[in-house]
Chain A
Amino acid sequence: MAGINEYVILSCVLFGLGTIGFLTRRNALILFMSVELMLNSINLMLVAFSAARADMGGQVMVLFIFAVAAAEVAVGLAILICLFKHVHSVDINKFNVLKW
């Protein structure tokens, strides 16, 4: 049976992977997925803390975060589709009309 530490370490590792993915990948969809990975690593951490503290609060928070993440993706994908109509690509290096 894994203790709280293992869960926290795992979720920190996942959060770190999400961050690295966000900073290094160039595909906008992969960036979305990286942010989702970060949010879900936080969910894992909250559930672990919730279980360790025998407090339902953390699990309630997870439900809220699911809802927010879903709304976020809906808006994000809509914007990406609108941009795709102009650029015909999801490579963020091609989103370069705005720069100094």
Chain B
Amino acid sequence: MNDLNFSFDFFHLWQVIGGQLILIVAGLILILADIAMLKLDEDVRSRRLGWLTVIIFALTAAHMMSREWGLHNIVFMGIFSADKFSIFVSIVMVLSGLLAALMSIGYLQNNDVMKGEYYILMIYAVAGAIGLVQSVDLLMMFITLEVMSLAIYALAAFLKNNRFSQEGALKYFLLGSFGSAFFLFGVAVIYGVTGTINLTKIAQSIAGGLYTNPAILLAFAMLSVGLFFKMAMVPFHMWTPDVYEGSPSVITGFMATAVKAAAFGVFVKLLFVTFTPMLSQSGQPDFQNTINLAALGAYWKPVLWWLALLTMFFGNLIAVSQQNVKRMLAYSSIAHAGYMAVGIIAANGDGRMGVLFYLFSYTLMNLGAFGVIYLIDGKERNAQTLEDYRGLGYKYPALGFLMGLFLVAMAGLPPTAGFIAKFYVFAAAIKEGYFLLAALGVMTSVIGAYYYLRVIYMMYMKDEVRDVVRGPVAMPTVIALVITAIGVIYLGILPEQLANIANAAQQSLSMIF
């Protein structure tokens, strides 16, 4: 805290947090653009803002990808780091924002809520999420966590006249701020024990002998609890079904992917930069020989083992009994958090790579599914039952095919991205000897296949074809659905390229020093 370097270099700043800067400035410009277009019709204004948002997200992604990929290990004022890992997770979140913005253009028209704030909140949510995974400072982590969460709370409550949306948002807000308080408690205890809130300095203190200190263990438990709320791990998942069901459908898809990616990214960073520093092939930090990494792992692995198992079982079992498709996908998103946690428990390079790959492919398939779901939203209740899907595949062959594809991907069947992602995390767990966990995980995903395939079965029931699709499918939504569908199939057939990038990303974690 005392040794902040206040020399200010704009180029350096741009290199490290250029993505956030683009989003923050663009958010301000969009507020003005919204006012400048006041004379136009509401729907024209909303559509233009939507396209502007898409362009902004595309520019952000371009900035992140254009940065020299070999560049790592640059830290801005001890607060933000631009390592490959953070950039990878950031790109996942920007992609999620981009696809969600594309779908929102049609969604807002359908639901007659054409307000400019929507896109601005979305931009700030992504900016906060990027800050969260880039930060290497616990205070900045808390602040960006709140920036992201506050924007998402407001988005969840966006349907003002819909009681479900408001109720979900309030529940999300209450439990979200409760979780953040735990996170902050962990920050305070770590500050008290080590005297610093910088991740790498904490790592050095822990390696210097503090790792048996119960206060440090308590602090890490508290930090993890705060993040588990965002990751929707059992038993911190209580808000998930209600919030996912009540929120506007596109926002549900957005928060299921972007927030989960941010929380998982920062959790992996905390674990493998600070608490269990990973061994690197090159440039080993000098303290790594002084601690027994296995001893550190013994503290958190058994706990996470049980949490992952409970999460997978609970999510999949309750999802089976759901009649509401949005609620079913909420429970399925809990289950997916469990699968990703399996990759973290493996605690090897493959596991971390698997988690990153999983986040990327989950973003594609989940947002794709919600892109179809929003088209079927009921007027009264911002959600729909399984019955509403009856005959969808006959009435709208393309929509039926896409929904089927996304559901098959989430069930983890080949040849889709979902299969490869599950394969990576379970293979990593088996490599480390977690046979039982992997076997039980695969078993739960078989349960999962049942309720995903039930929707597909419903879509191809011939007897009673319902026409529930509201209005013509907007062009941007078609674009977003095509992108996600191509991505899901491409990653299922040729995963090598992304897997290599993800592997390079996870290796960079050992270089944030």
Q: How far is the CB of A52 from chain B (nearest CB, A)?
A: 8
Q: How far is the CA of A28 from the CA of B488 in the complex (A)?
A: 42
Residues of B within 8 A of A98 (CB): 164, 167-168, 171, 241-242, 245-246
Taking Cβ atoms with an 8 Å cutoff, the residues of A that contact B are: 8, 15, 18, 22, 28, 31-32, 35, 38-39, 42, 45-46, 48-49, 52-53, 55-58, 60-61, 64-65, 68, 71-72, 75-76, 78-80, 82-83, 86-87, 92, 95, 97-100
Q: Indicate whether B177 reaches chain A with its CB closer than 8 angstroms.
A: yes
A34 to chain B, nearest CB (A): 8
* B33 close to A (CB within 8 Å): no
Separation of A45 and B1 alpha carbons in the complex (Å): 17
Q: A39-B181, A49-B192, A79-B153 are in contact. Are A86 and B143 (CB under 8 A)?
A: no
Name the distance in Å between B356's Cβ and chain A's nearest Cβ.
Answer: 29
A65, A79, A100: the one contacting B173 at CB < 8 Å is A79
B165 to chain A, nearest CB (A): 9
Give the residue name and chain of the A residue nearest to B159 (CB): A82
Closest beta carbon of chain B to A9's beta carbon, Å: 12
Q: Could you list 25 A-B pairs, sorted by A, with CB under 8 Å? A: A28-B174, A38-B178, A38-B181, A42-B184, A45-B189, A49-B188, A60-B1, A61-B197, A68-B142, A71-B150, A76-B177, A82-B166, A83-B166, A83-B167, A83-B169, A86-B167, A87-B163, A92-B174, A95-B170, A97-B164, A97-B167, A98-B246, A99-B242, A100-B241, A100-B318
Q: Which residues of B contact A99 (CB under 8 A)?
A: 242
How many residue pairs between the two chains, A and B, have CB atoms under 8 Å in the bound complex? 120
State A71–B327 Cα separation when bound (angstroms): 30
- Which residues in chain B, 230-277, are within 8 Å of chain A measured between CB atoms? 241-242, 245-246
Minimal Cβ-Cβ distance residue in B for A84: B166
Question: Complex Cα distance A83/B164, Å?
Answer: 9
Instruction: Evaluate contact between A79 and B170: CB separation under 8 angstroms.
Output: yes
Instruction: Tell me the complex Cα distance, A73–B506, Å.
Output: 37
Q: Assuming A8-B192, A98-B168, what are 11 further A-B pairs, CB within 8 angstroms?
A: A38-B181, A55-B1, A57-B1, A65-B184, A72-B177, A79-B153, A79-B157, A86-B166, A86-B167, A95-B170, A100-B318
A31 touching B195 in the complex, CB below 8 Å, given contacts A39-B181, A86-B166, A97-B163 = no
In the complex, which residues of chain A have a beta carbon less than 8 angstroms from the beta carbon of B167? Answer: 83, 86-87, 95, 97-98
Tell me, yes or no, whether B39 is within 8 Å of chain A by CB: no
Pairwise interchain contact A38-B163, C-beta atoms closer than 8 A: no
Nearest Cβ on chain B to A29's Cβ, whole angstroms? 11
Whether A55 and B188, one on each chain, are in contact in the complex, defined by CB atoms closer than 8 angstroms, is no
Is B386 at the interface (CB under 8 A from chain A)? no
**CB–CB A31/B174 < 8 A:** yes
| A-contact bits for B447-485, CB 8 A (1 contact / 0 none) | 000000000000000000000000000000000000000
